[in-house]
Chain A
Amino acid sequence: MNRRMIVNMIGRIVMLEGILLLLPTLVALCYGERANILCFAVTVVVAMVVGILMQLIFKPKTKVIYAREGFIIVAFAWIILSVIGAVPFVLSGEIPNIFDALFETVSGFTTTGATILTDVESMSKSILFWRSFTHWLGGMGVLVLIMAIMPSDSGRAIHILRAEMAGPVVGKLTPKIKDTAKILYTIYLVITFTEFVLLWIGGMDMFESAVHALGTAGTGGFGVKADSLASYNPFVQWVITAFMLIFGINFNLFFFMIHRKFKPVFTNRELWFYGALVLTAGGILTFSIYPVYNNFSDSIRHAMFQTASIMSTTGYATADFNTWPSMARCIIFVLLFVGGCAGSTAGGLKLSRVMILFKTITRDIKKMLHPRTVSNVKMEGKPLDNEITSSVTTYFALYMGLITITFLVISFEPFSLETNLTAAISCVNNVGPGLDMVGPMGGYANYSSFSKFILTVAMLFGRLEIYPLLLAFYPRTWMKK
Chain B
Amino acid sequence: MKIIIVGCGKIGLTILESLVAEGHDVVAIDIDEAVVNSIDDRHDAMAIRGSGADCDALREAGVNEAELFIATSSSDELNMLSCFIAKRMGVKHTIARIRNREYNLNRLSFLKQQLDLSLAVNPEMLAAKEMFNILKVPSAVKVETFSHRGLEIIELVVKEDSPLNGSKLMNLRSKFKFKFLICVVQRGKEVYIPDGNFILEEGDKIGLNIAESDIPKLMKSLGAEKKQARNIMLLGGGRVAYYLTKMLTEIGANVKIIERDYDKCQELSDLLSKASVLQGDGAQLDTLVEEGLDSVDAFVALTGMDEENILISIFAASHNVPKVITKINRNELAEMGSRLGLDTIISPKRSVADLLVQYARALENSRGSNVETLYNIMDGNAEVLEFNVKSDFAGLKIPLSQLRLKPNILIVGIIRDRKPIIPAGADVIMPLDRVIVIAANQRLNDLSDILK
Contacts and interface: CB of A to CB of B under 8 A. Distances in A.
Interface of A: 67, 154-159, 171-172, 174-179, 385
B43 interface: yes
Given A159-B41, A172-B46, 11 more contacts: A67-B41, A154-B44, A155-B20, A155-B43, A155-B44, A171-B40, A172-B40, A174-B25, A175-B27, A176-B45, A177-B44
B33 interface: yes
Contacts of A155: 20, 42-45
Contacts of B44: 154-155, 157, 175-178
B415 interface: no
B26 interface: yes
Contacts of A154: 44
Contacts of B25: 174-176, 179
B442 to A, nearest CB: 13
Contacts of A158: 40-41
A385 B41 contact: no
Most B CB within 10 A of own CB, among A159, A171, A172, A175: A175
Nearest to A172: B46
Most B CB within 10 A of own CB, among A154, A155, A158: A155
Contacts of A159: 41
- Chain B residues touching A, majority SS: mixed
Interface of B: 2, 20, 25-27, 33, 40-46
Contacts of B20: 155
A158 B44 CA distance: 8
B46 A174 contact: yes
Given A155-B20, A385-B33, A175 B26 contact: yes
A383 to B, nearest CB: 10
B41 A156 contact: yes
A386 B43 CA distance: 24
A177 B47 CA distance: 12
A69 B152 CA distance: 46
B302 to A, nearest CB: 33
A174 B20 CA distance: 13
Contacts of A157: 44
A223 B44 CA distance: 40
A385 B40 CA distance: 16
20 contacts: A67-B41, A154-B44, A155-B20, A155-B43, A155-B44, A155-B45, A156-B42, A157-B44, A158-B40, A159-B41, A171-B40, A172-B46, A175-B25, A175-B26, A175-B44, A175-B46, A176-B44, A176-B45, A179-B25, A385-B33
Nearest to B26: A175
Contacts of B41: 67, 156, 158-159
Contacts of B45: 155, 175-176
Nearest to B39: A155
A158 B20 CA distance: 15
A166 B42 CA distance: 20
Nearest to A152: B44
A453 to B, nearest CB: 35
Nearest to B33: A385
A193 B235 CA distance: 69
B42 to A, nearest CB: 6
B51 to A, nearest CB: 14
Contacts of B40: 158, 171-172
Most A CB within 10 A of own CB, among B33, B41, B43: B41
